[in-house]
């Protein structure tokens, strides 16, 4: 069973790991192996828990060419979908702690300790923060016939008749799903969750008024808003999006507590020496600073959001605690207690 104390241990380790990247399992990593020896001749491998085409696939592929040229070794991207990202995470967790095997992950890293507490490896011991790469704002939209103009209206309508308002949700633990939970819990309303494999699959039902609301990426939903097929109610994190400065934030639309965005970070194997992780982060930061990389990400509706290992550890600490509480109070998910 997953207890709150274990979550706190996980969060505490994330902070500790960025100060001394010496996971218990890998404490015997050679002291002489430092940033000067990395990367040597061994290829760098990105393990991503998504199929080809998702942002956790696009980000490492965009970075790979620039990293390869900068560090002088091949960079390989391997897609290993399944188990909520834990197939890819397990490979990285059990790899040599030499900074050559990297996990590309998103919010599942912060929710899996709550939803999947026994993955066959130790989240705290076997994974170490390396670098935050990008973030993406989420958009709350309404079907054309749904009368709400903002979140305040949604809450008012939903309170009048519980379960009468439906919201399309993607896979449990994804940012869009978590945003729907925030709307329900922080708005104190009883929504009907309608599951889809991905939020793009819900678009025809939204346009046809078969489902009332959805939260998804700007890339997926903003074109439908601009065409007039759907109505934008809010972006779910401050400040307003540069892609759509006319759309208010959730705070402006009536629910300040609804703050979430998508993000993708890079982890490596626990016990990787701190100088190696620092060098790895520096190389990723250089690639993220390139105008052509930023432009490529902007076309996908995402922005560079770099955090160093220490900052990433602090960020993961906060997200893991926040999402654990959200899931354990869900009316839909039965998270292990």
Q: Any idea what the CATH number is for the domain that residue 200 is in? A: 3.40.190.10
User: Looking at the structure, do residues 160 and 178 belong to the same domain, yes or no?
Assistant: yes
- Kindly tell me the number of DSSP H helices and DSSP E strands found in the chain: 13, 11
Is residue 296 assigned to a domain? yes
Domain boundary residue, one of 208, 235, 253? 253
The pLDDT assigned to 169 comes to 95
The DSSP element (H or E) to which 322 belongs, if any, is helix 309-328
Strand extents, DSSP E, 30-157: 44-48, 75-79, 101-105, 127-136, 138-142
> Based on the domain organization, do 35 and 85 belong to the same domain?
yes
Identify whether 337 is part of a domain.
no
Same domain, 165 and 131: no
* 179 in Cβ contact with 258 (< 8 Å): yes
Same domain, 8 and 123: yes
What is the DSSP pairing of strand 44-48 with strand 101-105? parallel
Question: Does residue 62 lie in a domain region?
Answer: yes
Burial of 73 (0-12, 13-18, 19+ CB in 10 A): middle
For residue 18, the model assigns a pLDDT of 40
Structural domain contains residue 258: no
Close Cβ partners of 45 (under 8 Å, ≥ 6 residues apart): 75, 76, 77, 78, 100, 101, 102
Instruction: Tell me if 333 is assigned to some domain.
Output: no
Residues 53 and 27 in one domain: yes
Give yes or no: residues 131 and 280 share one domain.
yes
Per-residue model confidence as pLDDT tens for the chain (337 residues): 344 444 444 444 444 444 344 343 444 444 445 567 788 889 999 999 988 888 899 999 999 989 999 999 999 999 999 998 999 999 999 999 999 999 999 999 999 999 999 999 998 899 999 999 999 999 999 999 999 999 999 999 999 999 999 999 998 889 999 999 999 999 999 999 999 988 999 999 999 999 999 999 999 999 999 999 999 999 999 999 988 999 999 999 999 999 999 999 999 999 999 999 999 999 999 999 999 999 999 988 899 999 999 999 999 999 999 999 999 999 877 655 5
Total residues belonging to the chain: 337
Both 172 and 218 in a single domain?
Answer: yes
Identify the residue whose tokens are 């020496």.
273
For 228, list phi and psi in degrees, rounded to 5. Answer: 90, 0
Q: Do 162 and 50 share a structural domain? A: no
Give the per-residue pLDDT at 301.
Answer: 86
**What total number of domains does the chain contain?**
2
User: Among 228, 253, 278, where does a domain finish?
Assistant: 253
CATH of the domain at 296: 3.40.190.150
User: pTM to 2 decimals?
Assistant: 0.85
Sign of the dihedral defined by the CA atoms of residues 317, 318, 321, 327, in that order: negative
Return the exposure string of 324-337: e unless at least 16 CB atoms fall within 10 Å of the residue's CB, then b: bebbbebeebebee
Q: What pLDDT sits at residue 53?
A: 81
In this structure, the answer to whether residues 130 and 162 fall within a common structural domain is no
Structure tokens at 290: 């390139």
Query: What pLDDT sits at residue 155?
Result: 98
- Tell me: do 220 and 178 sit in the same domain: yes
36 and 143 both lie in a single domain: no
Considering the domain boundaries, does residue 54 fall inside one? yes
Token pair, residue 284, equals 């990723």
Whether residue 217 sits in one domain with residue 142: yes
Q: Which residue among 235, 253, 271 closes a domain? A: 253
Report d(CA 283, CA 70) in Å as an integer.
Answer: 7
List the domain range (segments joined by +) for residue 112.
4-135+263-328
Question: Is position 310 within any domain?
Answer: yes
């Amino acid at each position: 069973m997953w207890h709150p104390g274990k979550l706190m241990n996980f969060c505490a380790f994330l902070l500790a790991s960025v100060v001394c990247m010496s996971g218990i399992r890998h404490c015997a990593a050679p002291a002489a192996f430092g940033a000067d020896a990395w990367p040597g001749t061994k290829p760098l491998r990105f393990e991503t828990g998504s199929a080809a085409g998702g942002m956790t696939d696009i980000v490492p592929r965009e970075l790979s060419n620039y990293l390869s040229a900068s560090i002088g070794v091949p960079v390989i991207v391997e897609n290993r979908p399944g188990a909520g990202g834990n197939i890819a995470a397990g490979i990285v967790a059990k790899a040599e702690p030499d900074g050559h095997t990297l996990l590309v992950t998103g919010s599942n890293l912060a929710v899996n300790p709550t939803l999947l507490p026994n993955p066959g490896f130790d989240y705290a011991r076997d994974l170490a923060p390396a670098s935050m790469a990008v973030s993406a704002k989420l958009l709350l939209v309404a079907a054309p016939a749904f009368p709400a103009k903002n979140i305040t209206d949604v809450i008012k309508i939903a309170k009048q008749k519980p379960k009468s308002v439906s919201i399309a949700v993607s896979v449990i633990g994804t940012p869009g799903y978590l945003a729907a939970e925030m709307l329900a819990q922080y708005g104190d309303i009883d929504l009907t969750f309608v599951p889809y494999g991905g939020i793009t699959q819900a678009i025809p039902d939204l346009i046809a008024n078969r489902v009332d609301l959805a939260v998804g990426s700007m890339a997926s939903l903003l074109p439908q808003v601009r065409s007039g097929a759907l109505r934008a109610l809010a972006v779910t994190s401050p400040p307003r999006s540069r892609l759509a400065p006319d759309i208010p934030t959730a705070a402006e639309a009536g629910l300040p507590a609804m703050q979430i965005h998508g993000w993708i970070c890079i982890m490596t194997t626990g016990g990787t020496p701190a100088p190696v992780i620092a060098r790895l982060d520096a190389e990723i930061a250089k690639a993220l600073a390139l105008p052509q990389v930023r432009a490529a990400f902007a076309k996908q509706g995402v922005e560079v959001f770099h955090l160093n290992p220490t900052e990433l550890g602090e960020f993961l600490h906060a997200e893991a605690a926040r999402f654990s509480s959200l899931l354990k109070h869900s009316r839909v998910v039965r998270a292990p207690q």
